[in-house]
Structure formats: C-alpha cells, structure tokens
Amino acid sequence: MKVRTKALPLAPFERILRAAGAERVSEDAAAALRDLIETIAKRIAEESVSAMRHAKRKTVKKADIEYVKTKLDVIVKAISE
C-alpha cells in the first residue's frame, strides 16, 4: 500500500491535462502539475492567514482569499507587461 504524502491525488491533474488536449499523460507530468498547484495553493493559504491575522480574526474568510487573488493579479499583470 502506498503512503500518500501529498494533499492532492494525481488523477485530477491527469484529467486536467487530458482535458487540455493531451492524449497521454505520464505520471511524472501529472505529479509536476500537482506539485506546482500545491505550492501555489500553500502560498495563497499562508497569505490568506496573514490577512486574517492582520484583521485580528481567527477565521479565514472568502474575502481573505479574494484579497490575495487581487495581489496576485497585480503581480501577474506587472510581469506580463
């Protein structure tokens, strides 16, 4: 029995790659996409918790996630210009 050390399973990432047009998807490719998405999600979660603490709350709210998204949108826009 395999012990899963990642938060997310590989199958959804394989489906995403297939939906994007890939006929075949290697396990390494699905794992690379999963690892990238987990890294991004972890960073968003950390920033959201920071926003929550700044607001002196104990609950992360949708607004915290949306705040981080707006910060990311600004960064992405600056990079793409």
- In sequence order, the 6+-apart residues with CB closer than 8 A to the CB of 24 are none
Give 60-70 pLDDT, tens digit per residue.
999 999 999 99
**Which pLDDT score is estimated for 46?**
96
**Which pLDDT score is estimated for 1?**
59
Give 20-40 pLDDT, tens digit per residue.
999 999 999 999 999 999 999
Mean pLDDT computed over 2-13: 85
- In sequence order, the 6+-apart residues with CB closer than 8 A to the CB of 45 are 60
**What is the pLDDT of the chain when averaged over all its residues?**
92
All structural domains of the chain, each given as residue ranges with its CATH number in brackets, are 11-80 (1.10.20.10)
Of the pLDDT bands very low, low, confident and very high (cuts 50, 70, 90), residue 77 is confident
